[in-house]
A and B are shown apart, each in its own frame.
Chain A
């Protein structure tokens, strides 16, 4: 198998185990929001509310880069991934791929987008059609999007299977004949079929056994190096994110609360939520003693999030009224390291600027503040 090495891993610092990303921005999300309307109670009139699944999220992914989104369940990371894949339309904001918006695409742009953005899903048992042979599963994107002949497709399927560590003859088998790790390899082969530029990985290893996870993570890192792929990695396991990602965004209740290069973010987290999250991560050795920050309560409902900073009811370092009254704004506190918290001068100042601008233009309806930026 190409991806399993018995070689003893070396301890390193920095990013030398990952590919070097390019400067070119591949995907850019600006002020993206996704509100789901929900009805509240049994009232016939009114009673409508919005579930703010994703609330004003901006990030960019460079070519060849892995951008990770971490957070607990319900923080909006999967909804964000769906919007990046254009499976869900944002309520507000814009997403561009190679400089062109994905919200309104003509057929040529759409074809280009669909070819270049692919996905690998969490559960390898439900993401492959049990009635299709591997050849059809991996070959289907090529049948649809290219003019390749049957022979060409068969040859390419064999190549792809070899590349992900399977045997070309396995193209004749059905998904149930594979183990979980092998199925995930098939899912990856399908995602690579059209030589995409961006692959969205939604919890790609969390359903796999521990010994198989390492194989798949090594494979993903190798493929990135070979093909210059960009990844959007959605995960809740911090160690996985730290190993795989160049940059990381931490999400809480639909917002990115901190974003930066992986090592600085993990070594010196700024946002109190990030700190709590890292402190709660399981240790890799019994002698590692982390000071644990236990957050009181649970994640509030995204239907009626707390005012001001949405983290304020659980925040162990809440300053005071300002946290309840003013929304913090994501601002660059250190080089390439952004945080949204009133503890930090730049974020606080940015929030004050937004508040001033809002006060200066009083006509804006205050229902959702969508037009403030």
Chain B
């Protein structure tokens, strides 16, 4: 559509080549495998199945997006992979998380803390709470390196400066003495990123890392993550509610609803022909900068309470394609095309005009 993406830039505007921003160089080697993960919370209203049978795999150098609304279980999935679910009330009651051939759920707590921050690390949403206000940058970036690699003195310092340089913090030699309050939001999030990649992890989990950042700062940060990925072959799990970030960053997408993955496929498959009604609705309910519709597609109703899920498909009460069977039986995963699966009885009707 005529508009922003095709508008010629006037003479003089320097635009960077987007080719470096294309799909990641995905290798076939699977680095992380999550099988039938179940994380339940015990509450006074009953058992909340926050993550209920989630399975996915992640390949080297790949970016996987996990999309969903609040309460869909996307953050609990990532916390379960890190084994950071607050317990009580939360318990990982079943499944496997196989990282580099080792099932993380079978490790002891002390073995797990050797893995956490070293082989798998995390970037959280709010850089102000992720950083400790009373320690300077050097301390916080150095902590993981000191613990996992046993470096001290000059070696440690070099490694810290190296990590800060990787996240493009200008003049890292002077910045390392700064405290979080002396940094801007974008810089703080870069420091959090530096902590995440300081030990060269295999997998980086980014849980809404840019929601608290401004648009232009967000663009720079996303580009940075892509560049780091291209340099290191890092596999990234991107937790987000924003399909824009998915479109820009991800190779494959898992859409979650009420604790389950309802659709899983390559990013173009998901955007071009979604086969789950929830994905379809989410994609068409977001206003687009490039194209205008006479009305926004609105999903009726609210996401369900997780302690009181309807029998059958959890999306059935809000679904425009609902049939009797949906209310009784949870659908299995259907494969609509190669590498594209969906949990919907009526997947072949989705997207066809109503």
Q: Which residues from chain A sit less than 8 Å from chain B, CB to CB?
A: 1, 3-13, 16-17, 72-73, 179, 181-182, 209-215, 217-218, 221, 236, 238-240, 242-243, 266-269, 272, 275-295, 298-299, 316-317, 343
Contacts and interface: CB of A to CB of B under 8 A. Distances in A.
A179 B58 CA distance: 34
Main secondary structure of the interface of A (DSSP, over half): loop
A93 B100 CA distance: 65
Interface stretch (B279-287, B327-335, B336-344): B279-287
B317 to A, nearest CB: 13
Contacts of B3: 266-267
26 contacts: A1-B301, A8-B284, A9-B294, A17-B295, A72-B214, A209-B70, A210-B241, A210-B282, A211-B281, A211-B298, A213-B285, A214-B287, A214-B298, A218-B298, A238-B289, A243-B296, A266-B289, A275-B9, A280-B219, A288-B247, A290-B4, A291-B16, A292-B219, A293-B15, A293-B16, A316-B13
A112 to B, nearest CB: 34
Nearest to B289: A239
B174 interface: no
Main secondary structure of the interface of B (DSSP, over half): loop
B267 A288 contact: no
A242 B289 contact: yes
B159 to A, nearest CB: 27
B87 interface: no
Interface string B300-324: 1111000000000000000010000
A290 B5 contact: yes
B12 interface: yes
Nearest to B4: A278
Given A9-B295, A267-B2, A272 B218 contact: no
Contacts of A4: 298-301
A214 B244 contact: no
A279 B15 CA distance: 9
Contact of A243 (B186, B245, B292): B292
Contacts of B286: 210, 213-214, 239, 284
Interface string B110-125: 0000000000000000
A211 to B, nearest CB: 4
Given A215-B298, A282-B244, A298-B217, A209 B289 contact: no
A325 B215 CA distance: 28
A17 B293 CA distance: 8
Given A284-B288, A288-B5, A298 B294 contact: no
Interface in B264-288: 267-268, 271, 281-282, 284-288
Contacts of B70: 209
Given A4-B300, A284-B286, A298-B184, 11 more contacts: A3-B298, A5-B297, A6-B300, A6-B320, A209-B69, A217-B296, A236-B215, A266-B4, A284-B289, A285-B290, A288-B290
Interface in B202-221: 214-220
B223 interface: yes
Contacts of B2: 267
A278 to B, nearest CB: 5
Contacts of B69: 209-211
| Top 6 closest pairs, chain A to chain B, by CB | A282-B244, A291-B15, A9-B293, A280-B219, A214-B285, A243-B287
B303 A211 contact: yes
B223 A294 contact: yes
A286 B12 CA distance: 27
A198 to B, nearest CB: 23
A143 B299 CA distance: 35
B36 interface: no
B171 interface: no
B28 interface: no
B293 A214 contact: no
Contacts of A8: 284, 297, 353-354
A214 B219 contact: no
A32 to B, nearest CB: 23
Contacts of B292: 11-13, 17, 242-243
